[in-house]
Structure 1
Amino acid sequence: MTELFFRSDPYQRLAETTVTAQTPEGGVVCAGSVFYPTGGGQPGDSGVLRWEGGALPIATAVKVRGSDEIALVPGEPGALPPVGAEVVQELDWDRRHRHMRVHTALHLLSVVIPLPVTGGSISAEKGRLDFDMPDMTQDKEALQELLTDLVDRDLVVTEDWISEAELDRQPDLVKTMSVQPPRGAGMIRLVRIGEDGEQVDLQPCGGTHVARTGEIGALRLGKFEKKGRQNRRVYLHLGS
């Protein structure tokens, strides 16, 4: 099982670790990973893998099918570090941090539009959520004001863990209709925005987030698109 450095500290940019395997597709598996793997609508991280006598650009990271390991996918053909090699993982921090800002912003979007979520995606410039919204009755200007207020309140973002049984007793915590929290490990990670009397959101999530909503910065609501009879797609853009 790959140790998830990004889980214990999403702000970690460098990590020293050891190569444990190479995948048949040419990926590099390490004992630990500072690279977040593609999942939950969030892209896999990119960066560089360095070792004595070599370096390799990493285009993305993915979960190894059927295991709890993460494979780093090279951005171009090149020599791979051998199994057992000591390596340094270097994150493309600007790209990751923008993913974190967008991801937390999408959680806020699900607060101001309190409807079931049917899908979503994240990029370094924008994100979107699809809502079970048969009729477009939302006031875009009012939603923008609510989002800006939540960012300006600089609410703390933290994590918590509950058992699968506890989640079953609180099904309202799950906002996504199309993707359910991963099960099998016994515990489910929750991301909380705000604390005590200021809590505004609590939902299962495995992604990386900023530490406070103020770190998101300027946000702009984008298009509202009709996607089928029931669905509306809503875009969010980072200001800078």
Structure 2
Amino acid sequence: MTAPLFRTDPYLREAPSGVISHSDQGVVLAESLFYAQGGGQPGDSGRLVWDGGEMTVTNAVKGDGDDIVLVPAEGEALPPVGASVTQILDWDRRHAHMRVHTALHLLSVVIPLPVTGGAIGTEKGRLDFDMPEAPEDKEALEAELNALIARDLPVTEDWITDAELAANPGLVKTMSVKPPMGAGRVRLIRIGQVDEQVDLQPCGGTHVARTGEIGPVRLGKIEKKGKQNRRVNLHLAG
């Protein structure tokens, strides 16, 4: 089992750990600084350094059980099982994912429709909505979204039980990705104060601490993707 360091501190850029196993895809550490791809968010990249060696981490993926597998660059050697390593995160890439991911949560606030899909990149992201007709005023949506970002709202986490989530199905906005259940509790991401929250939904990804960190965004193309689906593209403006 890999302990997810990115969940307790998404701003951690470097951390030690030990190698507990190898897999067909790469190396498994006792603790992972690297987010494993899932929920539309790419896996992290970076480096592992140990006494006598170094490995480029090109991706992080989910392995058996709660393992996180760090995928090496082609042809690179893995650190031996039992070795102590230093994990070094590609921070600029991760931070861009955090900004885009949090912005997409706010996009689901200004467009309060069921989400049918999504993807996160370093400069842009997108959400697909169950939206039969395109919005009439994209500029007004963009202005509303940037106003929320500029409020510099806190982004925090909370936890509820599987049973509490089952009793509150309205918390789940995504139709295509179901929140991870079965461990007894589910992680929620809250934007805004508890008594004045803007958004609350299950999510396992990484996010900025305050919305002001996202910076200005712009809405790109709104594309038709099927009879009732519209894809809304979002770009970081700076």
Is TM-score (shorter-chain normalized) higher than 0.5?
A: yes
Instruction: Name the structure 2 match of 1:39.
Output: 38
What percent of counterpart residues are identical? 68
Query: Does 2:196 correspond to 1:198?
Result: yes
Cα offset for 1:111? 0.2
1:129-168 correspondence to structure 2 within 5 Å? 129-168=127-166
Deviations along 1:14-55, whole A, 9 cap, x unmatched? 010000001023x01000000000000000000001000100
**In structure 2, distance between residues paired with 1:81 and 1:15:** 16
**In structure 1, distance between residues paired with 2:186 and 2:197:** 19
Instruction: Name the structure 2 match of 1:216.
Output: 214
TM-score normalised by structure 1 residue count: 0.98
1:1-240 correspondence to structure 2 within 5 Å? 1-25=1-25, 27-64=26-63, 66-240=64-238
* Amino acid aligned to 1:14: E
Gaps of 5+ in 2: none
**In structure 1, distance between residues paired with 2:194 and 2:38:** 30
1:164–1:187 CA contact under 8 A, matched in 2:
yes
**In structure 1, distance between residues paired with 2:175 and 2:67:** 27
**In structure 2, distance between residues paired with 1:79 and 1:213:** 40
2:56–2:76 CA contact under 8 A, matched in 1:
no
**In structure 2, distance between residues paired with 1:157 and 1:42:** 17
TM-score normalised by structure 2 residue count: 0.98
**In structure 2, distance between residues paired with 1:205 and 1:196:** 17
More displaced stretch, 117-126 vs 192-201: 192-201
Q: How many residues are aligned here?
A: 238
Cα offset for 1:239? 1.3
1:41–1:121 CA contact under 8 A, matched in 2:
yes
Deviations along 1:83-129, whole A, 9 cap, x unmatched? 00000000000000000000000000000000000000000010000
Cα offset for 1:139? 1.4
* Amino acid aligned to 1:61: A
- 3-state SS of 1:194 partner: strand
**In structure 2, distance between residues paired with 1:43 and 1:234:** 19
* Amino acid aligned to 1:42: Q
Cα offset for 1:221? 0.6
**In structure 1, distance between residues paired with 2:6 and 2:82:** 22
Gaps of 5+ in 1: none
Cα offset for 1:67? 1.2
